[in-house]
Structure 1
Amino acid sequence: MKNQGCEGDRSDGVSVLDLTLHFQNTNDIWKLCDRAWSPQCKITIKAVIINILSAIWSARNNARFNNKVTHWKSSITWIISSTSLAGNKSNCVASSSITDFLILKRLNVTIHPPKAPIIKEIWWQPPMDHWVKCNTDGASNKTTSSCGGVFKNHNTEFLRGFAENTGLMSAFKAELCGAMRAIEIAHSKNWMNLWLESDSILVVKAFSSSVLVPWALNNRWRNCRKLSSSMNFVVSHVYREGNQCVDGLANIGVTP
């Protein structure tokens, strides 16, 4: 970092910001932080400014009160060391900008790259032999709601599907209706090994905590739980990306 009066210092190739700066007052100094730096670069530059002012103040007091002259190289070493500590301790992240890269490296700051997105592999898993799997979903708008489901066997063969308007103005209630309808259909078809899968975590939790079920659906829910207790029954959660087919069926019921 240099100002207009330090052009001669360019011969050593060291210029942290690679800018010619004009400072008329302290406000001009802080305006430097308003540039489009990355968060980590910005906080590092703030640390540079604070440490420069602190080094000047310290050198001035040593000269005035202790009659000691601080060598400029010693001050620069202290400034870079203190700035490096601040930049490395920060939780802020840098950008992929080459300018940010050069500034942080010249100040001995370890670059904190942006957090990479978490990638999860999602796929539909078929049931075991002699089992039937049903994926269910629900959808709602301002006036109505619906549910849908698809039954498949261990060979991923389509057995049956359903899409029903529930008339309820709640997505969660529609999701529960889809789960209950799946149990009712499976029991009527004598599919006694049933794997139910939903993209609603609340629906999955409702099977272990009935207090989550709205009172309006409580009687039907108890009947379905009685049916499922006579079956080999499991329930699991799947991400929406693995439930897209049923999501389309559920949306049919709310489409004008």
Structure 2
Amino acid sequence: MDDHLWDRRVTIVSMRSLCGKNCESYDHLMSRYSFADSLWNWRGSLLSCHIDTQSSFTILAFERSSWSPQMKDVFLASISFVVCKIKMTGNHTKAVMNSSISEFQIMKKLDINGHPRRADRIKEVMWYLPKENWVKCNSDESPLGCPGVAGWAGIFRNHIGSFLGYCTANLGKKIQLLLEFMDAILAIEKA
């Protein structure tokens, strides 16, 4: 950090790479930097309190006397978390985000631009009408975990593409391989 160089009378001018505005100092990085301020406010909202971010000292000095020793440790751990996040990440990262709505909401609250994953490969799929007097069933199944609670759905269309109906079913707790077989059996039964 530039603070330590200043203490040794070494003059160096640098800008914080995350905001590009101020000289890099510990207080700026931990308390006055807008990204850090957002993280502290978020941490405060999780702990149902306001954290004074005027300086790094006021952040470290903050604690509630009514807190248990465990809660005080949780607060200190949250300080460590925020400090690590500020040092390790920023708006200029090239890392990709997961496709979860909770992660997206947190990143938007912190004013961070998310980098979604690129699609591995987009493949065009053609759907053809069934032969005359035939019924076509498009079906799929999905478990939640392995084994996990699973569901099935099918859509039925005739030879001119008209919608004939649909069917859904709760399959209970199943594994993926069994679901593939059940998918075919249910489609035949319901047709």
TM-score bucket of the superposed structures, by smaller chain? 0.3 to 0.5
| TM norm structure 1 | 0.25
Q: Could you say which structure has the greater relative contact order, defined with CA pairs below 8 angstroms and 6 or more residues apart? A: 1
Work out which of the two has the higher radius of gyration on C-alpha atoms and give 1 or 2. 1
TM-score with structure 2 setting the length: 0.33
